[in-house]
Amino acid sequence: MTDQTNTHQVTLNYYTLQDLRTIADSTPRLELHPDVIAKIEAGAQFVLEKAAEDRYIYGTNTGFGSLCETRVEDEEMELLQYNHVISHAVGVGEIVPEKLSRLMLFIKLLTFRTGHTGISIDPVQRLIDMWNNDIVPAIPKKGTVGASGDLAPLAHMALPLLGLGKVHYKGEVVDSATVLQAMSWEPLKLKPKEGLALTNGVQYINARGALALMRIEEMVKTADLFAAMSSQAFSTSETFYQAPYHETTYHPERKTVAANFRNVLEGSNHYELPTCNNSKQDPYSFRCIPQVHGAIRQAVNFAIDIIEKECNGVSDNPLFFPESNQILFGGNLHGESTALALDFVAMATSEMAYISERRTYQLLSGMRGLPDFLVNQPGLNSGFMIVQYTAAALMNENKVLCTPASVDTIPTCQLQEDHVSMGGTSSYKLETIVDNAEYILGIELLTAAQAIDFNKPLQLSPATQKLYDEFRQHFTFMERDRVMSDDMERARTYCAENRAKWIAQFSLA
């Protein structure tokens, strides 16, 4: 619900991913900064002036897509915008979570704030009023090709302005007409260009990408913590994360991972144990953690930069520039940057899960003094054997989903829109990969804790001892075979709920 005690003023400032996280999590009341209002009003007035001229203005007094040279009469411009919204509301599938719809709406407000889209203040203020009264558009999951904008999802976002479609309201998905009547709000009549301004742009896939990255950004940090737990359990060497070794590289992300290891492992004796490899040549899933986790961080940082820029830019076409008396036509409706970034970070997130699964596998291998499958009386008991099968199955799904959607295009609109980003698919599959990665990382922590209990000479570092003690309050040692499905579900939830706390508690960079 909207926090009525907290008001956020939408400004012309640059919004970071952390800013978007704060807005999405705290849901403050929204209002527009006076400078934003002035720019929106100037842009809208400019559109009305130009619409009165005898000229082609795409989507204002012409049809859409390949119908761009079909003029409509002046008295039909309002109907054109209405028809545009209702004809483009072709989304299918489940209704996305309210949090996603809210974030999409907020990012849409960011694209309006410069006035370049030509939308007037009325529909913008109605969207804000809906937010402030916990009336959130209900958006079907599928239907966007990620160019020409996220037409279908954004049209569904716009339908309630017309008294159509559905909204989240008081915990239910209901007809917007009923809610508008209860609020004594009249459906809006859209002015020239406003329907197109509402549906054009890639705010849907940017919102999906932003929410995924909020989770991934935390996961890459706690992945270092879980890997450190596994390293102690497996009696690895200490050399692979020492600072002098990483002074030989120009990748700062590797240095960050190595520093996290030194921080959380200070005081552990894992590298002094007799089970440690004499040549200090641990399997790559341990020895190459700084290199792999560092590369994952690079991909994540790249994606965050792209999504932030996309969310702060003006994603629409055409754009209006009253200060220079120009209307410019182009392709700011194309989601290629987002699609490529999400496909890239999907591969990185999958790799984060894959190297985690490999560490889990090593802990079950019967090496370094650990029993087969981390259980007493292996044979009678299977222990963690089949837990790793689930991780393997999830990894297989991730590998399939890592096929980039952005390398495909299916031409639309009589070849007028002949190259599209398919960023919607990029965003859907990234979400699934993140879900699977959460399970796999939770399984690693379960497995590492079990292995630590069998590594009797091991002295954990003070930091990891805290994590282990806390973990064992919720997850007991497996003495003999038991149903592990519940443990795995709870481990995923436990890790997700505690990531932010651990990042602060263990000073993970």
Which two structure tokens, joined as six digits, stand for 151? Answer: 């037409």
Q: Report the C-alpha dihedral over residues 61, 64, 65, 68, rounded to 10 degrees.
A: -20
Query: Distance between CA 259 and CA 42 in Å, rounded?
Result: 52
Identify whether 58 is a catalytic site residue. yes
**Cβ–Cβ under 8 Å, residues 459 and 465:** no
**Cβ–Cβ under 8 Å, residues 111 and 316:** yes
C-alpha distances (whole Å) from 317 to each of 73, 107, 129, 148, 162 are 21, 16, 26, 9, 22
Q: Report the C-alpha dihedral over residues 118, 121, 122, 124, rounded to 10 degrees.
A: 80
Query: Distance between CA 295 and CA 287 in Å, rounded?
Result: 14
Query: Distance between CA 52 and CA 48 in Å, rounded?
Result: 6
**Cβ–Cβ under 8 Å, residues 117 and 327:** no
Catalytically annotated residue among 58, 354, 428, 439: 58
CA 300 to chain centre: 11
Query: Distance between CA 20 and CA 2 in Å, rounded?
Result: 15
β-partners of residue 7 are 29
Query: Distance between CA 501 and CA 34 in Å, rounded?
Result: 38
Which two structure tokens, joined as six digits, stand for 434? Answer: 């993140």
What residues contact residue 244 under an 8 Å CB cut-off, 6+ apart?
none
**Cβ–Cβ under 8 Å, residues 65 and 413:** yes
Query: Distance between CA 427 and CA 216 in Å, rounded?
Result: 13
β-partners of residue 166 are 175
Catalytic residues, which ones? Answer: 58
